[in-house]
């Protein structure tokens, strides 16, 4: 269904939008701050963002990036993190390990799967004792995106 709608969007269509002047003023300020040079591109991006959000909510195949900051001198920590990544290996696309000063490490993972699975991987890693900070960002694979 979504694919069909997006396919029909290939042809560029002009349409009018009615909205309150103060709302438009705020929108213009916002897109100007974000360095957009015209409203059309800003509106296109808003629509794409909305569609990506929907896709994620539908639990479609998605991409995720995970970051973990930890102190590798913590006993068993590195082994535990490796173990979890092996458990979830079908979702882990890549892992990058960066050695920081003072025995700290930054690990960056790219993952592919349903958002539910990527979040489960993140929470398993994040909850390991000694992981000081973590982050997760989900995005669509772009397959259904114009």
Q: Where do contacts with Ni ion occur on this chain (CB under 5 A)? A: 99, 105
- Closest distance between Ni ion and the C-beta of residue 126, in Å? 18
Pairing verdict, β 131-140 and 104-113: unpaired
Instruction: Give whichever of 81 and 140 is closer to Ni ion, judged by the CB atom.
Output: 81
Minimal CB distance residue for Ni ion = 105
- Closest distance between Ni ion and the C-beta of residue 102, in Å? 11
- Among 71, 74, 62, smallest CA distance to 117 is for 62
Instruction: Give whichever of 40 and 73 is closer to Ni ion, judged by the CB atom.
Output: 73
Instruction: Give whichever of 65 and 74 is closer to Ni ion, judged by the CB atom.
Output: 74
Instruction: Give whichever of 56 and 105 is closer to Ni ion, judged by the CB atom.
Output: 105
- Closest distance between Ni ion and the C-beta of residue 130, in Å? 13
- Closest distance between Ni ion and the C-beta of residue 93, in Å? 20
């Amino acid at each position: 269904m979504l694919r069909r709608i997006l396919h029909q969007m290939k042809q560029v269509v002009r349409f009018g939008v009615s909205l309150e002047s103060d709302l438009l003023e705020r929108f213009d300020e916002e897109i100007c701050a974000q360095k957009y040079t015209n409203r059309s591109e800003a509106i296109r991006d808003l629509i794409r963002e909305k569609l990506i959000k929907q896709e994620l909510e539908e639990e479609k195949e998605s991409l995720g990036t995970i970051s973990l900051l930890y102190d590798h001198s913590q006993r068993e920590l590195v082994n535990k993190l490796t173990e979890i990544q092996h458990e979830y290996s079908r979702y882990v696309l890549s892992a990058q390990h960066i050695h920081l000063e003072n025995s700290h490490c930054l690990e960056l993972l790219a993952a592919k799967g349903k958002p539910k699975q990527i979040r489960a991987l993140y929470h398993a890693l994040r909850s390991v004792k000694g992981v000081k900070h973590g982050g997760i960002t989900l995005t669509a694979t772009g397959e259904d995106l114009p």
